[in-house]
Structure 1
């Protein structure tokens, strides 16, 4: 899959995440052992098919009851019980990313993208949404719903001082827009300030280094990952990829470590001590395919919690599941919303810093 050349902060992070996930899944499939090659090839073709689409959405969320998360957290040795509001928020929140392009996504550059959208939804609907269309980023948030989901109230427009009244539309849940070039300038200025006025290092991995990392990952995946076809029903086929998490992570980072000088400034690889503490358990990733298309990917996070170092009461956790699920489909509306209020980039990030997707 060819690298998508996108410079905008939010799009860059979104496309990078999609690209990395697709490359790793496709690599794992293509490098399966001989006896598992047929199942691996099916996943490989399905992942490649994502790049051939011009419209794509994927949604990420936990498919579990709040009680499962509470139980696993307790058995993993958590010092304090998780607040009920927070647990309900984690198990109910969904993140959906939509991308639409004039060309197949694998071949798309910045000028080819019609729009990109991200939605954070909860039990009561959309909490936060932003879209990147043309030269602007559009943003809105239901602050009352966000506060309810997080378990504490957030500021309202009436709470703003006179000097910040321009931010009222944001707190009222209305669409606002910011010029992307202004956002980039603000991000660079903020980065320079954080570095004491320095320029800092590159924040992207160049193509040559990407190829080296991909080659390293391929060699480890070929050795550690196995695939099996579990059949299916109603036109949906299920394929499972399995590997030891500790062996897989250790192998990958052992191969990548010699390339540390070529990675972006500030990028730190996990130490051997950290890797040794990773769960020494088989982790299975479940792929669902319909008519050859990838429709769903899931992994049970409970398997990691039950085998983590220091876990107590693992036997009591038997039968508890915490599936992390990604589903794929057509993109939602990514057009520019009408009536958006123009917002200065510098003032936009102030009171809401840390809440904005993409780090605005």
Structure 2
């Protein structure tokens, strides 16, 4: 991993809120009424996404992304005239698209957990993941601290990651176009050191999970913490103004469109 990317991840904060008609543990996709996600770095918000009703909203923190990457993103003047959707995104304002356009598989068909075939595959995957955890993860009760019960889970990283990816392969066809799961060859150089996650439980519910990733890196640092906190989320609300874009056209402009004059590679 490049040092710049590692520094960005080390300072990143990701906040996710989900709203549903039912308790989340009993919810399916059709019960979700709103979602909000914000990715922030040391220099400000990098990306923000909201889903409210039938619309999905997206905003890129262009200046923060430039500082984080150490390079300047193309301006609207640098882009081909036809790249209208990409220009809107790089303008830094809110854009919107139909939410169902984000739930299509590579064939263009919508995917839904309500489909019997999808449910059957998901059950197979969940059962496989449960067996993987039972086989590879060692659990230990470490007592009570600050009013929370603590349990640790320890496992060899490469073995667990490889098993996780293998169990997810039945869902590979549902990945967005251009995305793929890593192969065994991709994972063979992953460190196989043991890592331990600490789970804090309050009143019978998971309150916080933390894992020290420092053992995976060739570094003298003692700690590199990844922390997940669960609590009350923010209400997802539609932005006051948002420009509608075509997600298919945006994907073409990002990954398949003509290169910017003077460059050998696409803009992004």
* CA positional deviation for 1:217: 3.6
Q: Using the alignment, how far apart are the partners of 1:291 and 1:253 within structure 2?
A: 32
Q: Using the alignment, how far apart are the partners of 2:79 and 2:252 within structure 1?
A: 12
Asked if the contact 1:124–1:145 (Cα under 8 Å) also holds between the matched residues in 2, the reply is yes
* CA positional deviation for 1:164: 4.3
Q: In structure 2, which of residues 186, 197, 203 is the aligned counterpart of residue 291 of structure 1?
A: 203
* CA positional deviation for 1:334: 1.0
Instruction: Provide the residue aligned with 1:9 in structure 2.
Output: none
Instruction: Provide the residue aligned with 2:21 in structure 1.
Output: 102
Q: In structure 1, which of residues 177, 184, 188 is the aligned counterpart of residue 96 of structure 2?
A: 177
Instruction: Provide the residue aligned with 1:341 in structure 2.
Output: 243
Q: In structure 1, which of residues 115, 128, 137 is the aligned counterpart of residue 56 of structure 2?
A: 137
Asked if the contact 1:281–1:304 (Cα under 8 Å) also holds between the matched residues in 2, the reply is yes
Asked if the contact 1:203–1:264 (Cα under 8 Å) also holds between the matched residues in 2, the reply is no
Q: Does 1:153 align with 2:72?
A: yes
* CA positional deviation for 1:138: 0.9
Instruction: Provide the residue aligned with 1:330 in structure 2.
Output: 232
Q: Using the alignment, how far apart are the partners of 1:353 and 1:120 within structure 2?
A: 22
* CA positional deviation for 1:283: 2.1
Query: Which digits, 9 at most, give the CA deviation of each residue in 1:227-247, with x for residues without a partner?
Result: 222224331332211233455
Structure 1: where are the runs of 5+ without partners? 1-72, 74-81, 193-198, 307-316, 355-360
TM-score by length of 2: 0.73
What is the correspondence of 1:57-96 to structure 2 with a 5 Å cutoff?
82-83=2-3, 85-96=4-15
Partner secondary structure for residue 240 of structure 2 = coil
Query: Which digits, 9 at most, give the CA deviation of each residue in 1:120-140, with x for residues without a partner?
Result: 111132121111111111111
Question: How many pairs does the alignment contain?
Answer: 247
Q: Using the alignment, how far apart are the partners of 2:112 and 2:21 within structure 1?
A: 27
Q: Using the alignment, how far apart are the partners of 2:156 and 2:83 within structure 1?
A: 52
* CA positional deviation for 1:294: 1.5
What is the correspondence of 1:228-247 to structure 2 with a 5 Å cutoff?
228-246=140-158
Partner secondary structure for residue 126 of structure 2 = helix
- Structure ranking higher in strand proportion: 2
* CA positional deviation for 1:351: 4.1
TM-score by length of 1: 0.56
- Residue 139 to residue 352, structure 1, CA distance change in 2 (3 Å): farther
What is the correspondence of 1:246-325 to structure 2 with a 5 Å cutoff?
246=158, 248=160, 264-265=172-173, 270-271=183-184, 278-305=190-217, 317-325=219-227
Partner secondary structure for residue 329 of structure 1 = coil
**What is the root-mean-square deviation in Å for CA atoms of aligned residues?**
3.7
Asked if the contact 2:38–2:47 (Cα under 8 Å) also holds between the matched residues in 1, the reply is yes
Q: Which has the higher contact order (CA 8 A, sep 6+)?
A: 1
Comparing 148-157 and 232-241, the one that deviates more: 232-241
Asked if the contact 2:141–2:150 (Cα under 8 Å) also holds between the matched residues in 1, the reply is yes
Q: Using the alignment, how far apart are the partners of 1:169 and 1:152 within structure 2?
A: 19
Structure 2: where are the runs of 5+ without partners? 257-268
Asked if the contact 1:235–1:291 (Cα under 8 Å) also holds between the matched residues in 2, the reply is no
Asked if the contact 2:85–2:246 (Cα under 8 Å) also holds between the matched residues in 1, the reply is no
Query: Which digits, 9 at most, give the CA deviation of each residue in 1:176-214, with x for residues without a partner?
Result: 211234556xx66xx45xxxxxx89x9997333333343
Asked if the contact 1:169–1:341 (Cα under 8 Å) also holds between the matched residues in 2, the reply is yes
Q: In structure 1, which of residues 227, 241, 261 is the aligned counterpart of residue 139 of structure 2?
A: 227
Instruction: Provide the residue aligned with 2:126 in structure 1.
Output: 214
Q: Using the alignment, how far apart are the partners of 1:106 and 1:299 within structure 2?
A: 24
